[in-house]
Amino acid sequence: MPGARDPRIHGCATRRRGSGANVDTNRETPLSDPVAPPAALRDDPDAEVPTRPLSGFPARLVTVLAAGLSLYALYWVVGIVQPQIYRVSFLLIALVLTFVLYPAVPAWRGRVAALDWALAAVAVVVLAWPIVDFDRFVYRAATPSGLDILFGAVTTVLVLEATRRTVGWILPATAVGFLLYGYYGPLFEFVGLEIFAHRGYAVERLVGTLYMTLEGIFGVPLNVASSYIVLFTIFGAMLQHSGAGQFFITWTMAAFGRSSSGAGPGRTVTMSGFLLGTVSGSGVATTVTLGAVAWPMLRRAGFSPEIGGGILSASGIGAILAPPTMGAAAFLIAEFLQITYLQVIAMAIVPAVLYYLSIVLMIEADARRLGTKAVAVDLPSVWTLTRQSGYQFLPLVSIVLLLVSGMTPFRAVFLATMIAIGLSWFRRETALRPARLTAALETGGRAVLAVAATTATAGIIVGVVTLTGLGLKISSIIVDLAGGNLFFTVVYAAVAVWMLGLAVPVTASYIIAAVMIAPALTLVGVPDVAAHMFIFYYAVLSEVSPPTALSPFAAAAITGGNPFKTMMLTWKYTLPAFLVPFAFTLSPEGLGVLLQAPLADIARTVLTAVVGILALAMGLGGWLRQAATTPERTLAVAGGLLLFYAATTTDLIGAVCFAAAIGMHLARTRA
């Protein structure tokens, strides 16, 4: 778990080449370094442990393997590779890279230990076996041989160890618990937990499912990581190495940073987070990159380290929600629901806008309460920047246009990546020449390692849940506790996903909830698309909740603020937007927020959601013209909550409450 002095994150706050953008703290002006990728993107942004620095043969090996993994993924788009062979070989390379890059213990960070080389070699052996013996291997899943069982067990251990190294011990420990549950199922009947009891499965059956089929380690989660996520990490790496990421930040500062309001710096950071998030799709990477550029500006405006860190991390976390890249879980939604990724993007548009609107409004309230001041930003005009480098937006636009044309997501991002490479040659200093192109490919390959390990481990959990029927049992328990009531089922599901997010990262949290909690929502009438989007948004809460609150801790490391206070302020900034999922689950009209309803319902639901955000911003922020009183804040919050329930009666009552709060405030402050 990164603390306030994580060396990888803390180092990004200093002025040096490779931090994504340099900041002259005297002028508070970003100095363009368009070709150096952010350090947070060169190391894996979602990993809890920093990668070890390498030199000599290990460094060259990592470059070859990571760049090779990216090229392999790109080849898969245009070539023909049997799905099981591709997933196995993809995981093989990812595990070797993980054992070389990530130390088993912090004391080994300075060198690649003998154990690391041994584990990498064993990974090659046990994952080469399904490829070498493929024609017979796939038919032995029901009756695995002794060698299959041995190699399958070793593969499982290797996947768990790789996950422990990249994201911590909680997720692999959870997977071990599920494995024990799959084996010792009958014992639950003897301890009075008959509802969880099942027949129990021998090691042969567990290994056959998890190692020899596409229902376990090599199932849907790893498939999404190897076919979708890796392509978007490569795409993001190309944009970063060609200077697009720096351009997005500079362009946003030029567009929004000249405000005379004290909230201007905060609004600038928020909009920068949105644009940069479309490239990174990672909350931590976006937070760190923003912090390296924008914290001096926020500090000069008068924001405290904790509030500044909250703004940075809240803006960064939005990268997981912001189309078109979004986070890894968004690709899983498309796979689980068997819908196009374009449909997922469409459903995410309004919630993403509401998310950033809530942050902007909360910043406005805090800026007025704190008396922050505007900061002069010495940059060219927006028109000048757009004329000079506006072509950097074309790869993002091309993805959407290609998806709208009916192209598959992996082909769309493949072509957008090629477009980004071609556009980089418009300027000599950003051209992706062979050395820089190799570095971008390496960055893309390295960035997917933690996701590969996480999704492989999540595949173990999904395999056991499917085999034992645990998902339906958990769903039945949630529905029974709620008495079949829709509202309480949604509340209990939110709490369950939130608690799950306390222990595991967003991707794993979504995967587990998709098979164990989403069925509870559908049982009480919530549409599939709303159920999966609901658990997706609550899985994102793991980014602001202990102990996996990576983005706030990363922001605190940069600002020097208290990590816990930073985390709680981040939660405050994000809280209004996380009420949005209730709007599209509690009533059919609420599907308008996901653009999945008639046009009239879409217009009314979006409008009331916007007004609800305004009400909550007043109530939680505690400011309108002046500081709001407790009755005014209470009425505003009550109105905001009612406005999120998409029904005519609640909308009217909510609007009356909010109007009353505004009226009381204006009457009191008019004099």
| pLDDT for 206 beyond 60 | yes
Q: Is residue 317 within 8 Å of residue 274, measured between CB atoms?
A: no
Q: Specify which of 27-31, 83-87, 117-121 reaches the highest per-range mean pLDDT.
A: 117-121
Rounded to whole angstroms, the Cα distance separating 250 from 229 reads 27
Model confidence band, residue 126 (pLDDT cutoffs 50, 70, 90): very high
Determine the Cα–Cα distance for residues 563 and 556; give it in Å rounded to an integer: 5
Q: Which of 59-63, 158-162, 378-382, 501-505 has the lowest mean pLDDT?
A: 501-505
Peptide bond preceding 324 in cis form (omega within 30 of 0): yes
Rounded Cα distance, 4 and 350, in Å: 34
Is 1 strand, coil or helix?
coil
**pLDDT for 234-272, tens place per residue?**
998 998 899 887 888 888 878 876 666 777 788 888 888
Domain borders along the chain are 7-44+228-440, 56-222, 598-671
Q: In which residue are the tokens 């189309």 written?
A: 323
Q: Which range, of 515-524, 534-543, 624-633, 636-645, averages the lowest pLDDT?
A: 534-543
Per the listing, tokens 């046009």 go with 599
Q: Bridge partners of 623?
A: 627
Overall average pLDDT of the 336-342 stretch: 88
Using the predicted structure, report yes or no on whether residue 5 has a pLDDT greater than 60. Answer: no
**Percent above pLDDT 90 for the chain:** 41
pLDDT tens profile 211-235: 999 889 999 899 989 988 899 889 9
pLDDT given at position 30: 39
Q: How far is CA 467 from CA 178, 202, 283, 517, 520, in A?
A: 11, 12, 33, 16, 18
The confidence score (pLDDT) of residue 453 equals: 94
Q: How many CB atoms lie within 10 A of CB 483?
A: 8
Specify the pLDDT at position 167: 86
How far apart CA 419 and CA 428 sit, in angstroms, is 16
- Tokens at residue 342, please? 């374009």
Stretch among 305-314, 320-329, 385-394, 430-439 having the lowest mean pLDDT: 320-329
Residue 258 tokens, joined: 């000249």
Residue whose structure tokens are 């990216």: 70
Q: Mean pLDDT lowest for which of 62-71, 137-146, 287-296?
A: 287-296
pLDDT given at position 541:
77
- Report whether pLDDT(71) > 90: yes
C-beta atoms surrounding 60 within 10 Å: 11
State the pLDDT at residue 639: 94
Directed axis angle between helix 394-404 and helix 230-241, to 10°? 150
| pLDDT value of residue 473 | 87
- Per residue in 16-27, is it b (16+ CB within 10 Å) or e — as a string? eeebbbbbeeee
pLDDT-derived band of residue 286, with 50, 70 and 90 as boundaries? confident
Tokens of 195: 């509802």
Most confident among 342-346, 410-414, 438-442, 584-588 (mean pLDDT): 438-442
* pLDDT at residue 464 tops 60: yes
Length of the chain: 671
- Residue in the block written with tokens 């002046």: 626
The residue-averaged pLDDT of 192-210 equals 89
Q: For tokens 């060198």, what's the residue? A: 111
Picking from 249-258, 308-317, 385-394, which range would have the lowest pLDDT averaged per residue?
Answer: 249-258
- The 10s digit of each residue's pLDDT in 106-121 is 888 888 999 999 999 9
- Please answer whether residues 340 and 399 qualify as being in contact, where contact means their C-beta atoms are separated by less than 8 angstroms: no
pTM score, whole prediction: 0.81
Q: Which helix (H) or strand (E) holds 285?
A: helix 283-301
Alpha-carbon torsion, ordered 280, 284, 287, 293, to 10 deg: -80
In terms of C-beta distances under 8 Å and separation of at least 24 residues, what long-range contacts does 327-330 make, across chains too? 327/281, 327/282, 327/283, 327/506, 327/507, 327/540, 328/224, 328/225, 328/229, 328/281, 328/451, 328/455, 328/506, 328/507, 329/506, 329/507, 329/510, 329/511, 329/536, 329/539, 329/540, 330/536
Helix axis angle for 328-337 and 506-516, nearest 10°, is: 20
The pLDDT value recorded for residue 21 is 34
**Is pLDDT of 420 > 90?**
yes
Question: Helix, strand or coil for residue 527?
Answer: coil
- Does the pLDDT value for residue 406 go beyond 90? no
What pairs with residue 22 in β-bridges? Answer: 31
Report angle CA 137, 141, 145 to the nearest 5 degrees.
70
C-alpha to C-alpha distances, 146 to 25, 131, 136, 150, 551, nearest whole angstrom: 64, 17, 14, 6, 45
- The full DSSP string for 180-206 is HHHHSTTHHHHTT-GGG------HHHH
